Amino acid sequence: MSSHDVTDRRYQGSSTIYYPVMLKLKGKDCLVVGGGSVGERKVRMLLEVGAEVYLIAKDVNQNLKKLISDGNVRYLGKEFHREAITGKWLVFAATSDRKLNKRIAKFCCESGIFCNCATDPELSSFVVPASHRSGRLVVSVGTSAASPALAAKIRDFVADMLQTGQWHFYLAQLERIRHFIQKLGLSSEANQKVFRFLAEVVYSCVRKQAERSKSLIILKDSCEKLLKEVGAEYPADEWEKLWKV
């Protein structure tokens, strides 16, 4: 019996288990219904990733009013209408009115729109994990809605372990290397071999708190050896430019 078989049997008939995913919401229309602290939290989260945010709320707190007046959020009025979800990618039902939240979740389900229901997680088509963001590095922890408070505690524990500015530097460098290598026309297997090994090198350098200059030399030498192993050919001048940081 495989590990997947065991997992499938373990969760069969149990409470909902969520599929983890990170969404690209830049420029996508998203709706938040609710103008209190919960609604504000959802709004700010969406703005942070570049979403186009729409808001419906009877009572709007001062912070949200400022975001509206500054043109960061589009206010659609006090009353929710079903038509408001048309064309939206995500909807947050974040009011204190449980019946209204349920109605919003129902409409979204019928329309095939993902919805998060603040008062009834079981009616949600997705839940938001506890996340720590530091530049491009994002760590998310979820408990499948069993205990958001515990998820937050675990997130904070992991965040404390990652409090170093080194990650920003290496992530930027790895992104540049990745784009360069992806243009070489190597096989998927060769690409994965290079990327995974480079990740190991970076992780080791950060853990050892190695100097950046020395780490870059190690990273470059390792990458060149791997590219040679997989028979990659590339313009030397462009390659050298990657390492001028």
Residue with tokens 């030399």: 217
49 band by pLDDT with thresholds 50, 70 and 90: very high
pLDDT tens digits, one per residue of 130-161: 888 877 788 899 888 788 888 889 988 888 77
Q: How does pLDDT run across 219-241, given as a tens digit for each residue? A: 899 999 989 888 888 889 999 99
Answer with the residue of higher pLDDT: 167 or 117: 117
User: How would residue 11 be classed by pLDDT, with cut points 50, 70 and 90?
Assistant: very low
Distance CA 198, CA 120 (A): 43
What confidence category does residue 124 fall into, taking pLDDT thresholds of 50, 70 and 90?
very high
Give residue 114's identity as a one-letter amino acid code: F
pLDDT of residue 133: 82
Q: Which region among 75-89, 137-151, 184-198 has the lowest average model confidence (pLDDT)?
A: 137-151
As a whole number of angstroms, the distance between CA 8 and CA 152 comes to 27
- Cβ neighbours for 32, distance < 8 A, ≥ 6 positions apart: 39, 42, 43, 46, 53, 54, 55, 56, 91, 92, 94
Its pTM stands at 0.74
Find tokens 């974040």 and name the residue.
94
Partners of residue 179 on adjacent β-strands: none
The pLDDT of residue 6 is above 60: no
DSSP for 66-113 reads HHHHTTSEEE--SS--GGGGTT-SEEEE--S-HHHHHHHHHHHHHHT-
pLDDT greater at residue 209 or residue 82: 82
Quickly state the pLDDT bin for 13 (edges 50, 70, 90).
Answer: very low
Q: Assess contact for 91 and 102: CB atoms under 8 A.
A: no
Rounded percentage of the chain residues whose pLDDT exceeds 90: 49
Phi-psi region of 90 (alpha: psi -120 to 50; beta: other; left: phi over 0): beta
